[in-house]
Amino acid sequence: MKIFKDKHTLQKEILKTKGISFVPTMGGLHKGHISLIKKSKKSQFKTLVSIFVNPTQFNEKSDYRSYPRSIKTDLKKLKRLKINYLYIPSFKDIYGFKPKEKVFLDKFSKKLCGRFRRGHFEGVLNVVNRFLEIIKPKYIFLGKKDYQQLYLIKKHIEKRKIKSKIIECKTIRENNGVALSTRNSNLDENQMKIASNVYYYLRNFKKKIKKNYNFFNLNKIKKDLKGLGVSKIDYLENYNTKNFKKIKRQSKKFNLFIAYYIKKVRLIDNI
Protein backbone atom coordinates (compact mmCIF):
# COMPACT_ATOMS: atom_id res chain seq x y z
CA MET A 1 0.00 0.00 0.00
CA LYS A 2 1.47 3.32 -1.09
CA ILE A 3 0.43 6.39 0.92
CA PHE A 4 0.18 9.85 -0.65
CA LYS A 5 -0.42 13.18 1.04
CA ASP A 6 -0.23 15.51 -1.95
CA LYS A 7 -2.05 15.33 -5.26
CA HIS A 8 0.92 15.92 -7.55
CA THR A 9 2.88 12.90 -6.29
CA LEU A 10 -0.30 10.80 -6.42
CA GLN A 11 -1.06 11.87 -9.99
CA LYS A 12 2.46 10.97 -11.18
CA GLU A 13 2.00 7.49 -9.70
CA ILE A 14 -1.49 6.74 -11.03
CA LEU A 15 -0.66 7.99 -14.54
CA LYS A 16 1.27 4.74 -14.91
CA THR A 17 -1.87 2.63 -14.28
CA LYS A 18 -4.60 1.53 -16.70
CA GLY A 19 -7.21 3.02 -14.42
CA ILE A 20 -8.34 3.53 -10.84
CA SER A 21 -11.23 2.20 -8.75
CA PHE A 22 -11.89 4.88 -6.14
CA VAL A 23 -13.43 4.52 -2.68
CA PRO A 24 -13.83 7.94 -0.99
CA THR A 25 -14.15 7.90 2.83
CA MET A 26 -13.95 10.20 5.82
CA GLY A 27 -12.17 7.50 7.80
CA GLY A 28 -13.56 5.69 10.84
CA LEU A 29 -13.60 2.65 8.58
CA HIS A 30 -16.24 0.00 9.31
CA LYS A 31 -17.64 -3.09 7.58
CA GLY A 32 -19.58 -0.90 5.15
CA HIS A 33 -16.38 0.73 3.89
CA ILE A 34 -14.64 -2.64 3.83
CA SER A 35 -17.44 -4.04 1.66
CA LEU A 36 -16.93 -1.18 -0.83
CA ILE A 37 -13.17 -1.76 -0.86
CA LYS A 38 -13.55 -5.50 -1.44
CA LYS A 39 -15.87 -4.82 -4.38
CA SER A 40 -13.39 -2.33 -5.76
CA LYS A 41 -10.60 -4.90 -5.53
CA LYS A 42 -12.62 -7.26 -7.72
CA SER A 43 -12.52 -4.74 -10.58
CA GLN A 44 -9.78 -4.85 -13.21
CA PHE A 45 -8.32 -1.59 -11.91
CA LYS A 46 -6.13 -0.68 -8.95
CA THR A 47 -7.91 0.42 -5.77
CA LEU A 48 -7.41 3.89 -4.31
CA VAL A 49 -8.98 4.82 -0.95
CA SER A 50 -9.09 8.38 0.34
CA ILE A 51 -9.45 9.54 3.94
CA PHE A 52 -10.51 13.15 4.26
CA VAL A 53 -12.93 14.61 6.80
CA ASN A 54 -14.40 17.34 4.63
CA PRO A 55 -15.15 20.45 6.73
CA THR A 56 -17.33 22.13 4.08
CA GLN A 57 -20.12 19.53 4.42
CA PHE A 58 -20.60 20.04 8.17
CA ASN A 59 -23.23 22.53 9.30
CA GLU A 60 -21.76 23.00 12.75
CA LYS A 61 -18.12 23.27 13.80
CA SER A 62 -18.86 21.15 16.87
CA ASP A 63 -20.12 18.31 14.64
CA TYR A 64 -16.95 18.52 12.55
CA ARG A 65 -14.74 18.49 15.65
CA SER A 66 -16.58 15.55 17.23
CA TYR A 67 -16.66 13.44 14.05
CA PRO A 68 -14.98 10.10 14.96
CA ARG A 69 -11.40 9.83 13.69
CA SER A 70 -9.23 6.72 13.95
CA ILE A 71 -6.37 7.03 11.47
CA LYS A 72 -4.10 4.43 13.14
CA THR A 73 -6.86 1.81 13.16
CA ASP A 74 -7.82 2.73 9.60
CA LEU A 75 -4.25 2.24 8.40
CA LYS A 76 -4.10 -1.24 9.94
CA LYS A 77 -7.37 -2.23 8.25
CA LEU A 78 -6.26 -0.91 4.86
CA LYS A 79 -2.90 -2.72 5.08
CA ARG A 80 -4.74 -5.98 5.79
CA LEU A 81 -6.98 -5.36 2.78
CA LYS A 82 -3.89 -4.81 0.63
CA ILE A 83 -5.22 -1.82 -1.25
CA ASN A 84 -2.90 -0.24 -3.82
CA TYR A 85 -3.06 3.43 -2.84
CA LEU A 86 -4.17 5.55 0.10
CA TYR A 87 -4.65 9.30 -0.33
CA ILE A 88 -4.75 11.42 2.86
CA PRO A 89 -4.83 15.01 1.60
CA SER A 90 -4.68 18.24 3.56
CA PHE A 91 -7.39 20.89 3.22
CA LYS A 92 -5.03 22.96 1.04
CA ASP A 93 -4.31 20.02 -1.24
CA ILE A 94 -8.03 19.58 -1.99
CA TYR A 95 -9.19 23.20 -1.94
CA GLY A 96 -6.07 25.00 -3.16
CA PHE A 97 -7.05 24.94 -6.84
CA LYS A 98 -9.98 25.91 -9.05
CA PRO A 99 -11.63 22.83 -10.60
CA LYS A 100 -12.40 22.81 -14.32
CA GLU A 101 -15.95 21.58 -13.84
CA LYS A 102 -18.57 23.62 -12.00
CA VAL A 103 -20.65 21.65 -9.50
CA PHE A 104 -24.11 20.68 -10.73
CA LEU A 105 -26.59 20.56 -7.86
CA ASP A 106 -29.84 18.86 -8.78
CA LYS A 107 -33.04 20.36 -7.33
CA PHE A 108 -33.50 17.24 -5.21
CA SER A 109 -30.67 18.60 -3.04
CA LYS A 110 -33.28 20.84 -1.38
CA LYS A 111 -35.27 17.83 -0.11
CA LEU A 112 -34.65 15.45 2.82
CA CYS A 113 -31.21 16.20 4.35
CA GLY A 114 -30.92 19.32 2.18
CA ARG A 115 -33.79 20.93 4.10
CA PHE A 116 -32.12 20.44 7.46
CA ARG A 117 -28.40 20.66 6.66
CA ARG A 118 -27.99 23.89 4.74
CA GLY A 119 -24.93 23.81 2.49
CA HIS A 120 -24.27 20.12 3.19
CA PHE A 121 -24.70 18.82 -0.35
CA GLU A 122 -22.87 21.80 -1.83
CA GLY A 123 -19.94 20.74 0.35
CA VAL A 124 -20.26 17.06 -0.63
CA LEU A 125 -20.47 17.76 -4.37
CA ASN A 126 -17.64 20.27 -4.20
CA VAL A 127 -15.21 17.82 -2.61
CA VAL A 128 -16.29 14.89 -4.82
CA ASN A 129 -15.88 17.06 -7.93
CA ARG A 130 -12.33 17.91 -6.80
CA PHE A 131 -11.45 14.28 -6.07
CA LEU A 132 -12.76 13.25 -9.51
CA GLU A 133 -10.59 15.89 -11.17
CA ILE A 134 -7.47 14.87 -9.23
CA ILE A 135 -7.88 11.10 -9.59
CA LYS A 136 -9.98 10.69 -12.77
CA PRO A 137 -11.15 7.23 -11.64
CA LYS A 138 -12.77 4.69 -13.96
CA TYR A 139 -15.08 3.66 -11.12
CA ILE A 140 -16.24 5.29 -7.90
CA PHE A 141 -17.80 2.99 -5.29
CA LEU A 142 -20.63 4.46 -3.18
CA GLY A 143 -23.03 2.91 -0.68
CA LYS A 144 -26.82 3.16 -0.82
CA LYS A 145 -27.13 4.16 2.84
CA ASP A 146 -26.48 7.75 1.75
CA TYR A 147 -28.97 7.35 -1.12
CA GLN A 148 -29.67 11.04 -1.64
CA GLN A 149 -25.95 11.79 -1.76
CA LEU A 150 -25.40 8.97 -4.25
CA TYR A 151 -28.24 10.26 -6.45
CA LEU A 152 -26.85 13.83 -6.45
CA ILE A 153 -23.31 12.69 -7.29
CA LYS A 154 -24.73 10.60 -10.14
CA LYS A 155 -26.62 13.62 -11.50
CA HIS A 156 -23.48 15.78 -11.32
CA ILE A 157 -21.43 13.16 -13.20
CA GLU A 158 -24.15 12.82 -15.88
CA LYS A 159 -24.67 16.57 -16.31
CA ARG A 160 -20.95 17.36 -16.56
CA LYS A 161 -20.30 14.31 -18.78
CA ILE A 162 -17.58 13.05 -16.44
CA LYS A 163 -16.30 9.65 -17.57
CA SER A 164 -16.16 8.05 -14.10
CA LYS A 165 -18.83 5.40 -13.52
CA ILE A 166 -20.63 5.02 -10.18
CA ILE A 167 -20.87 1.50 -8.76
CA GLU A 168 -23.81 1.44 -6.33
CA CYS A 169 -23.32 -0.89 -3.37
CA LYS A 170 -25.95 -2.18 -0.95
CA THR A 171 -26.24 -0.90 2.61
CA ILE A 172 -24.31 -3.04 5.09
CA ARG A 173 -25.99 -3.47 8.47
CA GLU A 174 -25.04 -4.53 11.96
CA ASN A 175 -26.50 -7.86 13.15
CA ASN A 176 -29.20 -5.79 14.90
CA GLY A 177 -30.27 -4.16 11.62
CA VAL A 178 -28.70 -0.73 12.17
CA ALA A 179 -27.04 0.66 9.04
CA LEU A 180 -23.29 0.82 9.54
CA SER A 181 -22.03 4.35 10.05
CA THR A 182 -18.93 5.93 11.54
CA ARG A 183 -21.30 7.88 13.81
CA ASN A 184 -22.50 4.61 15.39
CA SER A 185 -19.37 4.71 17.57
CA ASN A 186 -20.98 7.67 19.37
CA LEU A 187 -23.90 5.47 20.53
CA ASP A 188 -23.87 3.60 23.83
CA GLU A 189 -25.41 0.13 24.23
CA ASN A 190 -28.89 1.40 25.07
CA GLN A 191 -28.89 3.94 22.23
CA MET A 192 -27.81 1.23 19.78
CA LYS A 193 -30.81 -0.82 20.93
CA ILE A 194 -33.10 2.14 20.22
CA ALA A 195 -31.62 2.45 16.70
CA SER A 196 -32.20 -1.28 16.16
CA ASN A 197 -35.84 -0.96 17.28
CA VAL A 198 -36.32 1.96 14.87
CA TYR A 199 -35.01 -0.16 11.97
CA TYR A 200 -37.30 -3.12 12.70
CA TYR A 201 -40.30 -0.87 13.29
CA LEU A 202 -39.81 0.85 9.90
CA ARG A 203 -39.09 -2.41 8.09
CA ASN A 204 -42.34 -3.93 9.37
CA PHE A 205 -44.23 -0.72 8.64
CA LYS A 206 -42.99 -0.74 5.04
CA LYS A 207 -44.39 -4.26 4.60
CA LYS A 208 -47.78 -3.02 5.82
CA ILE A 209 -47.99 -0.04 3.46
CA LYS A 210 -46.90 -2.18 0.52
CA LYS A 211 -50.11 -4.12 1.09
CA ASN A 212 -52.29 -1.15 2.00
CA TYR A 213 -51.11 2.44 1.52
CA ASN A 214 -53.84 3.69 3.86
CA PHE A 215 -51.61 2.56 6.75
CA PHE A 216 -49.25 5.45 5.97
CA ASN A 217 -50.08 7.79 8.86
CA LEU A 218 -47.08 10.04 9.39
CA ASN A 219 -48.17 11.45 12.74
CA LYS A 220 -48.72 7.97 14.18
CA ILE A 221 -45.32 6.74 12.95
CA LYS A 222 -43.51 9.71 14.48
CA LYS A 223 -45.36 9.22 17.77
CA ASP A 224 -44.42 5.53 17.80
CA LEU A 225 -40.76 6.28 17.04
CA LYS A 226 -40.56 8.80 19.87
CA GLY A 227 -42.09 6.13 22.10
CA LEU A 228 -39.16 3.89 21.13
CA GLY A 229 -36.69 6.50 22.40
CA VAL A 230 -36.08 8.78 19.40
CA SER A 231 -35.34 12.33 20.58
CA LYS A 232 -36.15 14.19 17.36
CA ILE A 233 -37.10 13.43 13.74
CA ASP A 234 -35.85 15.71 10.95
CA TYR A 235 -37.85 13.89 8.28
CA LEU A 236 -39.60 10.64 7.45
CA GLU A 237 -40.70 10.43 3.82
CA ASN A 238 -41.38 7.85 1.14
CA TYR A 239 -39.85 8.13 -2.33
CA ASN A 240 -39.66 6.05 -5.47
CA THR A 241 -35.98 5.06 -5.59
CA LYS A 242 -35.75 5.35 -9.40
CA ASN A 243 -37.08 8.84 -10.03
CA PHE A 244 -37.18 10.25 -6.49
CA LYS A 245 -40.83 11.21 -6.70
CA LYS A 246 -43.04 10.86 -3.66
CA ILE A 247 -45.42 7.93 -3.78
CA LYS A 248 -49.05 8.82 -3.11
CA ARG A 249 -50.65 5.44 -3.59
CA GLN A 250 -49.84 1.75 -3.26
CA SER A 251 -46.46 0.89 -4.77
CA LYS A 252 -43.68 -1.65 -4.35
CA LYS A 253 -40.79 0.48 -5.64
CA PHE A 254 -40.18 2.85 -2.77
CA ASN A 255 -38.04 3.36 0.32
CA LEU A 256 -38.77 5.07 3.59
CA PHE A 257 -36.16 7.80 4.14
CA ILE A 258 -35.48 8.94 7.69
CA ALA A 259 -33.15 11.24 9.60
CA TYR A 260 -33.52 11.16 13.38
CA TYR A 261 -31.67 11.86 16.60
CA ILE A 262 -30.91 9.68 19.59
CA LYS A 263 -29.83 12.31 22.11
CA LYS A 264 -27.28 14.35 20.09
CA VAL A 265 -26.38 11.67 17.53
CA ARG A 266 -28.01 12.12 14.12
CA LEU A 267 -28.63 8.96 12.08
CA ILE A 268 -29.97 8.50 8.57
CA ASP A 269 -31.32 5.42 6.82
CA ASN A 270 -33.49 4.31 3.94
CA ILE A 271 -35.44 1.08 4.19
pLDDT in tens, 93-113: 999 999 999 999 999 999 999
Cα dihedral 166, 170, 172, 177, rounded to 10, equals 140
The answer to whether the beta carbons of residues 244 and 251 sit under 8 Å apart is no
Alpha carbon distance 212, 210 (integer Å) = 6
Mean of pLDDT over the chain: 95
Q: Is the pLDDT of residue 218 over 80?
A: yes
The answer to whether the beta carbons of residues 225 and 195 sit under 8 Å apart is no
Residue range(s) in the chain whose domain bears CATH number 3.40.50.620: 2-169
Tell me what pLDDT residue 167 has: 98
Task: Find the mean pLDDT for residues 251-269.
Answer: 92
Q: Does the domain at residues 2-169 carry the CATH identifier 3.40.50.620?
A: yes
Distances (CA, A) of 212 to 205, 207, 216: 10, 9, 8
Residue range(s) in the chain whose domain bears CATH number 3.30.1300.10: 182-270
Q: Taking the complete model, does pTM exceed 0.85, yes or no?
A: yes
Tell me what pLDDT residue 215 has: 80
Give the active site residue among 30, 33, 120, 156. 33
Q: Which fold has domain 182-270?
A: Pantoate--beta-alanine Ligase; Chain: A,domain 2 (3.30.1300)
Tell me what pLDDT residue 240 has: 87
The reply to whether 33 belongs to the active site is: yes
